[in-house]
Amino acid sequence: MYPLKFNPILKERLWGGTKLRDVLNKPIENDITGESWELSTVKGDVSVVSNGDLAGISLQELINTQTNDLLGVSVAERFGKEFPILIKFIDAKQDLSIQLHPNDELAKKRHNSFGKTEMWYVMDADQDAELIVGFNKDVAKDEYANSIKNDTLLDLLNYEKVKEGDTFFINTGKIHAIGAGVLLAEIQQTSDVTYRVFDFNRKDKNGNLRELHTEQALDAIDYTKKDDFKVAYSTEKNEVNTMVDCPYFKTNFIELTENIKQDVTSRDSFTIYMCVGGSATVKNEFGEANLVKGETILVPALSKSIEIISSGAKLLEVTI
């Protein structure tokens, strides 16, 4: 159970571009690739190991056969044989649709799914690139419904200019969208439940408008203005700096100019490293794997220590 790498699962999107290839060296074959799913057990999109003796085996198969060793006992007790988070890189050449995600209770009731709490780490942003996060004032439900009918929703939304390193926490119910020119890393609950409420009247390659979820969204939205989304975090070098610590995942920022070694005996969770800059080698007792910008590694939970060898890397470290 050495550090595991997986083949990226690439997704064409109406709004996608070429940065996944040009910046992160993903093997995309067209100019509208919007997402690279790095770690997934979503049905139909299950990650497959790409390195070492386990190459060719799916993440789900490893979880089924080596549950506690891979996930950790406490994670397995909580989530069974489901991988609890979904890891992606996203390239928005155009604005994404304006959307939100239901909470666990509503998602379970309507879709037999988890909700979708997520976070974004901006890796690259064109000049004046923006994100939409929340409302610019408290909005009444009727006011929101009228804005959908009158095509004035954009007037109610909060816009945030972004640059590399900016980090946002998107809790369930918060209306949001990734703006054109943004390349980011996304960490989220395992769920593909999204309520799309506005899509700029775009049509797909067959000339059809994409489905909107106007009625479903009404009871899922948080209509209050909140300034709880921008994440402030330390960037002290060669230290583990906490970014987000929520019930669904914990994410740390690590910028290395030298090697570090962590005792993770008591962690009882897998550890994920997303490389958002530079390069590193990640080692546990059973082996090692190299990591460059745009790559992701999963270190199984049975690891007692993790060593990261690097003279220059920026990593997002994710656990449960």
Same domain, 15 and 74: yes
How far, in Å, CA of 237 to CA of 278, rounded?
14
Residue 230 in any domain: the answer is no
What pLDDT does residue 55 have? 98
Q: Which 3 state secondary structure label does DSSP give 97?
A: coil
Q: Interior CA angle at 89 toward 255 and 203, to 5°?
A: 150
Residue 2 in any domain: the answer is no
How far, in Å, CA of 9 to CA of 39, rounded?
9
- Determine which helix (DSSP H) or strand (DSSP E) holds 144, and give its type and residue range: helix 141-150
What pLDDT does residue 155 have? 96
What pLDDT does residue 207 have? 82
Which structural domain range is residue 106 located in?
9-218
Q: Which 3 state secondary structure label does DSSP give 124?
A: strand
Same domain, 151 and 199: yes
Residue 223 in any domain: the answer is no
Residue 286 in any domain: the answer is yes
Closest CA to 157 of 179, 191, 133: 133
Per the annotation, binding residues for Zn(2+) are 101, 118, 176
What pLDDT does residue 298 have? 98
List the beta bridge partners of residue 10. Answer: 36
Annotation says 196 is catalytic: yes
Same domain, 139 and 83: yes
- Determine which helix (DSSP H) or strand (DSSP E) holds 214, and give its type and residue range: helix 214-218
Residue 261 in any domain: the answer is yes
Residue 13 identity (one-letter amino acid): R
pLDDT average per 10 residues of sequence, the chain (320 residues)? 97 95 95 97 95 97 97 95 96 95 87 88 97 97 94 96 97 95 96 88 82 91 94 97 96 97 96 98 97 98 97 96
Domain boundary pick from 218, 252, 279: 218
Direct distance between the N- and C-terminal alpha carbons of the chain, in angstroms, rounded to an integer:
18
What pLDDT does residue 104 have? 83
- Determine which helix (DSSP H) or strand (DSSP E) holds 110, and give its type and residue range: helix 104-111
Same domain, 168 and 133: yes
Q: Contact at 8 Å (CB) between 224 and 295?
A: no
* Domains of the chain: total: 2
Structure tokens at 76: 């397995």
Per the annotation, binding residues are 101, 118, 176
* 54 CB neighbour count, 10 Å cutoff: 16
Residue 104 in any domain: the answer is yes
Residue 1 in any domain: the answer is no
Residue of 13, 196, 202, 267 with catalytic role: 196
CATH (domain of 66) = 2.60.120.10
Same domain, 214 and 247: no
Same domain, 113 and 36: yes
